[in-house]
Structure 1
Amino acid sequence: MNWVYVSLIFLTIIISIQPSYIHPDEQFQSLQMLSYIFNKEKYLNLNVKKIIPWEFENQNSARSYFPLYVVYAPIYKFIKIFNITDSLEIFQLVRFYNLIIFLISCKITIVTIKKRLDDKTEQIDVHLFWMLILTSYVTTSFQSHTFSNSIETIILQLHLSILQTLIPRNQRDLSNKYKFALSLLHGTLISFGIFNRMTYPAFIFFPLIYMFFKYYTKSANNMLQLISTIFSFLITSAVIISIDSRLYESDSYVITPLNNLLYNLDKKNLLKHGLHARYTHIIINLPQMLGPMIYVLFKLKKQKINLLSLSILSGLTCLSLFEHQELRFLIPLYSIFCLYIVTNCNLKAIPNYKVVVKIWIIYNVIMTIVLGLLHQSGVLLSIQFLNKYYKQNITANIWWKTYSPPTWFYNDAHIVNSSTNIENGIEYNSAIDFELRKHHVIDLKGCSIELFNDTLHKLLTNQGDKNTTIQVVIPNSVKHRVEKISNNYNITQVYHTWFHLDLDHFDIEHPSSFYPGIGVYDFSL
């Protein structure tokens, strides 16, 4: 390993642990629950319904606990052993951990594929693979984050490595004992992948069909391996269902992927998360993920049909059937695309490859700054400030026009979260307890200035003391809107950072809406 790789790895680590915040799911489907799972003793006297995301509520049971326990138990064990209590340090450790296990899975995959190649007729550019992984914003801004999609990437890489190993290559074949062991692991990974995300079959559907005709139907022994795979899948699924049913305190069996699928098949539910055209993944998300490397993909002379290409086609085809399409859903395919490129081309043979490399670097630097460093970073930085400045004696905090603040980051066992409610398409604040004076986090999301003002006024007038002060967190992009109601309050800025980029509230009529930054303000009457 030369100094270039060392420098890239170091830079990748530094960027990966920055407090950028891409999507609420990376907090609420993982770290929010992990904080509760591994620190239940802190929440014994708290109404946990106020901190548990809806997917994990007993009546919904749309997410499995099992993958969180399996994947994150080692790092949380480390955190407990060394008594690490600072939220930012825990956050950075978990992201570092995610990055490391991803790089390890990449190493396993690249070694497996290299071993299975015919040295005389095929070659693989390992250096190019690592350069594509370490220089991409996808690694630092998505893969290192605590998305369930990030776990899905690792499962998919290991899964394809197993399938690649099972397929005979020349005279170098495996013992039957080893094949059966891999077949058992194959079934376990299918089950684990599905319970991690119900979309996982999308990435392996075509590869499994290929394996059935290319491998399993070739002999009776191979069919026995398929049977062992099915057996392993059923046993693993039964164990996970049993564990989830117990954790959800259900009298009946809880099958979380099925509940999740039924939820997503209802178009009314998808409307809450946003509907997209079915070509969004192909036309928008894929080019955004690959950047200039999509040019290299189209310049490949030979488009091979193998497990890598089938996984790519399978993922894009199946995921495009759903009308809710986000870039992060394609994260598992990025490393597969990289593997496919390096096993099918010599970059220097691509026309204008030097230009492509330069554009690649520029593109990823820009995307890394925007998504890996700045995007909604001030949310966690503001909570860090509130923790230290108010020494966990938190009053009522209002968050407006930001991503939802993860309450686990407050490291406060008494924290209660509330938000606006929508009835018949109209947003209200009737679900907020205005009498709650301490340890209260109020997420006003993107509500109107009128509802924001009404919430402020009710909170301050219900405190019983005219000198009461509450903290309000507002990005610079909407400060001009607050000026409309500023005469009603005494407003003092107590914290500000430019390390925050809000891409959701640009207003061409107000140039200040393009300003980065976020502030914490004391509001009083």
Structure 2
Amino acid sequence: MWRRTYLLLLLIRVYFAVSPSYIHPDEIFQGPEVIAGDLFEYRNVRTWEWTVAKPIRSVFPLWPVYGLPMALLKALWSREGDGLVSPTAIYYTLRVVMFALCFVLEDWAIHELVQSPRKRKNAVTLVASSYVTWTFQTHTFSNSVETLLVLWCLVLMQRIAGPSATPSSPVDEKPAIGNDAVPRRLFVTAGLALGFLLLLPHLLNRPLALIAILVSATFWLFVAIATDTAFYTGPAATTSFRALFSYIHITPVITPINNLLYNTKASNLKQHGLHPHYQHLLINLPQLLGPALLLLAPWPLQRSSFNVDGMLHNPRLTTAITGAIILSVIPHQEPRFLLPCIPLLLTCVRLPDNKTWRKRFWIAWGVFNGLLGILMGIYHQGGIIPAQLNMPNTITTSLLNTNSNAKHVDVHWWKTYPPSLYMLGQPLHHPTTNDIVEIHTDPLLGANKSTLLSSLTRKLPPCNDQESLLTKFTNALSNNNPTQVLLAAPFSAFRPEYFASSIPSISNFTFTLPTDSDHGEENGKGLRLTHLETYRRHINMDDSDFGDDGVVPTLSRVVGRRGLGVWRVERECAMPTGEVIGE
């Protein structure tokens, strides 16, 4: 029965791994976007973390996880021709890689960390049935990589100094700890307590083992600094080993120190949002653990049946709690920062012995993870990735349907996360003229209606300026406008107050968005949005407004009108005779 349950949970994990939900922009812009741009020379966005004078993102842990799969894809595709890989293949390959790493390394680590066979089954089932494992761990988050590193640091420590450890050569497994300790900063916050409490007393009695770890850590630290220095310095540092050593000696790029210095300044963190220090413990942990958190609380549902596996002497629990407390000191707190703590805490839960309470827990646990899994793993900003991957086809279809010779296409993304640029792939060629069509991506994020209209109308020829209405009408018919304007936005973003009459039905994808004189519409009726594509698996929770609109109206708008649409935007100019262009 347990094996069948685990197999079912594994299939669920596979399904969510290949479902293109979009949990947070960092899953793209902190790794895949930059690496894909370097390997394939696709257009890409380097966010401020990569471009500031003292960069805070290290490429050292990214290349093995993202760069190696991309390099293998490039090697395979090079046999087919130009060596450029489809962005769709890149995206889904990385998601499959993250699933494989999660399935192999995370589950393997849980098997080793939990010694008791009975407790191990419960721990593996809890981790495998958590929506955090289904979604966050199968996405390309650096925090997901941190989770695996922390788990395997604990595994190696347990092998060295745990109760079941066996005498071994000081260089057998100790150097691997130095390798795991260097790449990510979370080892410092989550692993130092364990290192001092568990490993250090053991190593003091075995100085050769301590020396092996220090040598390994020093070596990998040097490799990390050399990699980051070469990456950020550019070709000048890669001409020879002497040049690289010179840059390391004079201007080394040490991203963990830059990261630490940046995050210790409240003025910097204000730009990303400040949270109370209790955010992690009182809001984020319940959001990630749900009912399982009750079994870690000091007040049991049934004291006689409640127990925490070695609460006072459990290195997994010690590491998780220590890491959460240290991360709580930093005022910028997002749930994904706690990802390394989640599997550790789930391995510490012992289910109630009472069958009734156990059944109630499993029901609550299933409902909680089912709902959050569907939301975060399928619908959360779920239309952005497929829309961007399909954008070249959408643009080609629009150009053909309008018989347009446009060489520029401006795509405005409104009320969405910013899309990845590497997913646009190779330069698009016009379907009839074969000229290169420049695609400009403009992420408007959560801009209001006025900003949206200003951005759209700025790229469209006006109805009341320089040319007569007849000329405008002639140009519209001949499609001589050198630019096409597209809008990608969730249906829920179009509120009733945006329209003169009732809001268009979701089945009526083509509609007119009224404007005003502030946007040069004295002789126009507004902006006509012609539907091109629809992606129904999309919910934008960031546009929720429960305080002003109420719970039911907000859910009716955000969930009831779920989906992402792509429209071609044109002015709807009135002819002198009263006719309307396009109707």
For Structure 1 versus Structure 2, the TM-score category normalised by the shorter chain is: 0.7 to 0.9
Equivalent position SS for 2:31: helix
Q: 1:443-462 to 2 correspondence within 5 Å?
A: 443-461=443-461
Q: 1:125-136 to 2 correspondence within 5 Å?
A: 125-136=119-130
Is the contact between residue 28 and residue 140 of structure 2 (CA under 8 Å) also seen in structure 1? yes
**Partner of residue 222 from structure 2, selected from 235, 238, 260:** 238
Q: What's the counterpart of residue 334 of structure 1?
A: 342
1:212 Cα deviation (Å)? 4.9
Equivalent position SS for 1:276: coil
AA partner of residue 160 (structure 2): L
> Following the alignment from structure 2 to structure 1, what is the Cα–Cα distance between the partners of residues 229 and 499?
51
Is the contact between residue 386 and residue 394 of structure 1 (CA under 8 Å) also seen in structure 2? no
Is residue 325 of structure 2 the alignment partner of residue 314 of structure 1? no
Q: What's the counterpart of residue 526 of structure 2?
A: 488
> Following the alignment from structure 1 to structure 2, what is the Cα–Cα distance between the partners of residues 112 and 137?
22
**Partner of residue 191 from structure 2, selected from 204, 209, 212:** 204
Q: What's the counterpart of residue 429 of structure 1?
A: none
Q: For residues 230-267 of structure 1, give each alpha carbon's deviation from its aligned partner in whole angstroms, at most 9, with x where no partner exists.
A: 22212211111112111111741100111122222221
> Following the alignment from structure 1 to structure 2, what is the Cα–Cα distance between the partners of residues 133 and 212?
26
Is the contact between residue 112 and residue 165 of structure 1 (CA under 8 Å) also seen in structure 2? no
RMSD: 2.7
Equivalent position SS for 1:316: helix
Q: 1:295-314 to 2 correspondence within 5 Å?
A: 295-298=294-297, 299-300=306-307, 302-314=310-322
Relative to the length of structure 1, the TM-score reads 0.84
Is residue 539 of structure 2 the alignment partner of residue 516 of structure 1? no
Structure 1 unmatched runs, 5+: 44-49, 416-435
Q: What's the counterpart of residue 26 of structure 1?
A: 27
Is the contact between residue 143 and residue 337 of structure 2 (CA under 8 Å) also seen in structure 1? yes
AA partner of residue 319 (structure 2): S
Aligned pairs, how many? 479
Q: For residues 168-219 of structure 1, give each alpha carbon's deviation from its aligned partner in whole angstroms, at most 9, with x where no partner exists.
A: 536x6222x1x433221111211122xxxx34311112111213554223x2
Equivalent position SS for 1:273: coil
Q: What's the counterpart of residue 274 of structure 1?
A: 273
> Following the alignment from structure 2 to structure 1, what is the Cα–Cα distance between the partners of residues 419 and 351?
46
Q: What's the counterpart of residue 359 of structure 2?
A: 354
Q: What's the counterpart of residue 367 of structure 1?
A: 372
Equivalent position SS for 2:390: helix
AA partner of residue 224 (structure 2): I
Is residue 233 of structure 2 the alignment partner of residue 249 of structure 1? yes
> Following the alignment from structure 2 to structure 1, what is the Cα–Cα distance between the partners of residues 207 and 366?
47
Moved over 6 A (4+): 462-465
**Partner of residue 54 from structure 1, selected from 44, 48, 59:** 48
Equivalent position SS for 1:292: helix
Q: What's the counterpart of residue 81 of structure 2?
A: none
**Partner of residue 539 from structure 2, selected from 491, 496, 501:** 501
Q: What's the counterpart of residue 408 of structure 1?
A: 422
AA partner of residue 221 (structure 2): S
AA partner of residue 444 (structure 2): L
Q: For residues 27-54 of structure 1, give each alpha carbon's deviation from its aligned partner in whole angstroms, at most 9, with x where no partner exists.
A: 11122112113213x56xxxxxx62222
1:283 Cα deviation (Å)? 0.4
Q: What's the counterpart of residue 521 of structure 2?
A: none
Is the contact between residue 111 and residue 120 of structure 2 (CA under 8 Å) also seen in structure 1? no
1:349 Cα deviation (Å)? 4.8
Is the contact between residue 15 and residue 373 of structure 1 (CA under 8 Å) also seen in structure 2? yes
Is the contact between residue 394 and residue 533 of structure 2 (CA under 8 Å) also seen in structure 1? no
Is the contact between residue 316 and residue 344 of structure 2 (CA under 8 Å) also seen in structure 1? yes
> Following the alignment from structure 1 to structure 2, what is the Cα–Cα distance between the partners of residues 232 and 462?
66
Is the contact between residue 18 and residue 92 of structure 1 (CA under 8 Å) also seen in structure 2? no
**Partner of residue 399 from structure 1, selected from 390, 407, 413:** 413
Q: What's the counterpart of residue 241 of structure 2?
A: none
Is the contact between residue 184 and residue 232 of structure 1 (CA under 8 Å) also seen in structure 2? yes
1:104 Cα deviation (Å)? 1.2
AA partner of residue 460 (structure 2): L
Q: For residues 246-293 of structure 1, give each alpha carbon's deviation from its aligned partner in whole angstroms, at most 9, with x where no partner exists.
A: 111174110011112222222122112111110111101111111111
Q: For residues 390-434 of structure 1, give each alpha carbon's deviation from its aligned partner in whole angstroms, at most 9, with x where no partner exists.
A: 24987110011111111111114589xxxxxxxxxxxxxxxxxxx
Q: For residues 95-145 of structure 1, give each alpha carbon's deviation from its aligned partner in whole angstroms, at most 9, with x where no partner exists.
A: 12101112211243234335xx4xxxx554232222212211101110100
AA partner of residue 237 (structure 1): L
Query: Residues 3 and 309 of structure 1: is their aligned pair in 2 closer, same or farther, counting only changes over 3 Å?
Result: closer
Equivalent position SS for 2:307: coil
Is residue 386 of structure 2 the alignment partner of residue 381 of structure 1? yes
1:74 Cα deviation (Å)? 3.5
Relative to the length of structure 2, the TM-score reads 0.76
> Following the alignment from structure 1 to structure 2, what is the Cα–Cα distance between the partners of residues 224 and 213?
13
> Following the alignment from structure 2 to structure 1, what is the Cα–Cα distance between the partners of residues 118 and 207?
31
AA partner of residue 177 (structure 2): H
AA partner of residue 265 (structure 2): D
> Following the alignment from structure 1 to structure 2, what is the Cα–Cα distance between the partners of residues 249 and 123?
51
1:351 Cα deviation (Å)? 6.6
AA partner of residue 535 (structure 2): T
Q: Which has the larger radius of gyration?
A: 2
Is the contact between residue 157 and residue 199 of structure 2 (CA under 8 Å) also seen in structure 1? no
Q: What's the counterpart of residue 62 of structure 2?
A: 68
AA partner of residue 35 (structure 1): A
AA partner of residue 240 (structure 1): A
Is the contact between residue 31 and residue 66 of structure 2 (CA under 8 Å) also seen in structure 1? no
Equivalent position SS for 1:352: helix
Q: What's the counterpart of residue 173 of structure 1?
A: 166
**Partner of residue 487 from structure 2, selected from 472, 477, 480:** 472
AA partner of residue 217 (structure 2): F
Is the contact between residue 427 and residue 438 of structure 2 (CA under 8 Å) also seen in structure 1? no
**Partner of residue 180 from structure 2, selected from 165, 171, 189:** 189
Q: What's the counterpart of residue 288 of structure 1?
A: 287
Q: Which moved more, 1:62-71 or 1:198-207?
A: 198-207
1:381 Cα deviation (Å)? 2.2
